[in-house]
Amino acid sequence: MIRNSVLATASVALFGLAACGSSATSTQTIPSVSFSTQLNITNQQYQALRYDNGVVTLPASGVAGGGVKGLFVVRINSTTYVALERNCPYQPYDACSLVSLDRSRVFFKDTCCGSQFGLQGDLRGGPATRSMRSYATSLSGNLLTISN
């Protein structure tokens, strides 16, 4: 009788401890995809990249695309560009986990979870605990290469 009581108590305790573990969503990471794309920044469709804090959105697939859910390319200054993943780092496997450029064009937001990020991908608020994923960029003349 005592043995059964001890086993039942131990089972409940172990189940309780397992339930107290960290949330799976806080440890999920954005899947890694390999890609390399080049943009001619003098091309009319990338004209926003001619100005500091200009943002261009690229699809996930196609000739000028990449990332899991697409990319943002942001001009920091005439020689520095950042490329950011559009998949939100908070619950990246949710279908609605997609970061968009706010209407003000001064920050990014995920309308699904409410997380907000600066134009360089830095976390500004919301439930996300990580910044946006960034990808390598290299500028050679008018060609901007983005890769992972």
- What pTM was computed for the model? 0.81
Collapse the DSSP code of 26 into the 3-class scheme (helix H, G, I; strand E, B; otherwise coil) and give the result: helix
Domain 2-147: assigned CATH number = 2.102.10.10
| Residue 110 pLDDT | 97
| Residue 123 pLDDT | 98
User: Cα angle at 135 between 71 and 79, to 5 degrees?
Assistant: 95
Q: Is-contact 54 39, C-beta < 8 A?
A: no
Q: Is-contact 141 86, C-beta < 8 A?
A: no
Beginning with the edge strand found earlier in the chain, give each strand of the sheet holding 36-40 in spatial order: 36-40, 143-147, 134-140, 80-85, 71-77, 55-58
Predicted confidence (pLDDT) at residue 8 exceeds the cutoff of 50: no
- Name the token pair of 109: 């937001």
Summarised one tens digit per residue, pLDDT across range 54-88 is 999 999 988 889 999 999 999 999 999 999 999 99
Predicted confidence (pLDDT) at residue 135 exceeds the cutoff of 90: yes
Summarised one tens digit per residue, pLDDT across range 12-29 is 343 333 333 344 445 689
